[in-house]
């Protein structure tokens, strides 16, 4: 069995890595990562807009944004893949390749989820930050741009990375519309061999696990670093406070008395 796994990898590593590229479309783990990066990368700016719209005082903006988030949260990703793949061609009058349909789906779906992360990040900031910005005369948007978002987005980096990990796993669903990604490559191999589904899908699972585990470790590390950075500043604050307390004349007098 280990021998079988070895042979599967030895014979198909290029297919698992980049699919039939350059003779065919890019596939394998390269396509999986590309899908995820495009999905999250394009969803990210969109998610900020959705979050700002949801939090905005104007119902014309907050209602559609809220509706989008609720629909995306309430409907399985597979349904949305089907909608995009089968309905989009009807609307625009031409066939949409699986890869493009999958990217579009991921962008909309992830934008909704990321926007909830962004919204939580904004709302987690102390209310005094917005008060101070408004008191200085910043408009709502100016306050968001220069004061609220820079803090919120920095705090959110780990959450965004873990959403990226979820996205990698979600790209497997592209299989149903023949997107040539990693799962698709594995199932091609399985169809060739016919007799070793356990070994093939074990290899597949291992690859996903290795990639996602690495990224999760990176997320944890970043999370600790960001927390440490806050705590580190806090510690230096204590030091300064102590320093002042020690050298202040009143304190010296108190000690003498």
Point out which residues bind other proteins (CB under 8 A): 126, 128-129, 131-132, 134-140, 142, 146-147, 150-151, 154, 230, 233-234, 236-237, 240-241, 244-245, 248, 250-251
What is the nearest approach in angstroms of other proteins to the Cβ of residue 121?
A: 13
Q: What is the DSSP letter of 19?
A: B
Taking the least distance from each CB to other proteins, the nearer of 11 and 237 is 237
Taking the least distance from each CB to other proteins, the nearer of 78 and 124 is 124
Distances (CA, A) of 39 to 51, 165, 171, 235, 244: 17, 12, 9, 39, 51
CB 48 within 8 A of CB 121: no
What is the nearest approach in angstroms of other proteins to the Cβ of residue 155?
A: 10
Which DSSP helix (H) or strand (E) runs through 15? helix 2-18
Taking the least distance from each CB to other proteins, the nearer of 227 and 240 is 240
What is the nearest approach in angstroms of other proteins to the Cβ of residue 233?
A: 3
Taking the least distance from each CB to other proteins, the nearer of 3 and 247 is 247
What is the nearest approach in angstroms of other proteins to the Cβ of residue 146?
A: 6
3-state secondary structure of 26: strand
Taking the least distance from each CB to other proteins, the nearer of 3 and 135 is 135
Taking the least distance from each CB to other proteins, the nearer of 216 and 236 is 236
What is the nearest approach in angstroms of other proteins to the Cβ of residue 130?
A: 9
What is the nearest approach in angstroms of other proteins to the Cβ of residue 243?
A: 8
CB 70 within 8 A of CB 112: no
CA distance 42 to 3: 42
Distances (CA, A) of 211 to 5, 68, 169, 185, 200: 19, 30, 10, 16, 17
SS (H, E, C) 79-137: HHHHHHHHHHHHHHCCCCCHHHHHHHHHHHHHHHHHHHHHHHHHHCCCHHHHHHHHHHC
């Amino acid at each position: 069995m280990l021998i079988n796994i070895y042979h599967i990898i030895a014979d198909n590593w290029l297919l698992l890595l980049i699919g039939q590229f350059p003779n065919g479309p890019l596939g394998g783990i390269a396509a999986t990562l590309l899908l995820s990066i495009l999905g999250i990368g394009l969803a990210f700016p969109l998610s900020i807009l959705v979050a700002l719209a949801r939090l905005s005082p104007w119902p014309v903006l907050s209602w559609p944004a809220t509706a989008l988030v609720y629909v995306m949260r309430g409907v399985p990703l597979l349904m949305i893949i089907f909608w995009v793949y089968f309905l989009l061609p009807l609307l625009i009058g031409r066939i949409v390749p699986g890869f493009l349909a999958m990217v579009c789906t991921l962008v909309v779906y992830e934008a909704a989820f990321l926007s909830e992360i962004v919204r939580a990040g904004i709302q987690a900031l102390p209310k005094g930050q917005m008060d101070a910005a408004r008191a200085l005369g910043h408009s709502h948007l100016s306050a968001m741009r220069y004061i609220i978002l820079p803090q919120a987005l920095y705090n959110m980096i780990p959450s965004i990375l873990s959403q990226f990990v979820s996205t990698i796993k979600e790209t497997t669903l592209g299989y149903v519309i023949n997107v040539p990604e990693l799962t698709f490559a594995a199932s091609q191999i399985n169809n060739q061999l016919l007799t070793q589904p356990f070994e093939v899908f074990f290899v597949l699972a291992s690859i996903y696990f290795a990639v996602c585990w690495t990224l999760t470790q990176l997320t944890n590390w970043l999370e600790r670093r960001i927390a440490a950075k806050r705590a580190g500043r806090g510690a230096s604050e204590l030091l300064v406070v102590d320093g002042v307390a020690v050298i202040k004349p009143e304190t010296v007098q108190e000690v003498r008395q």
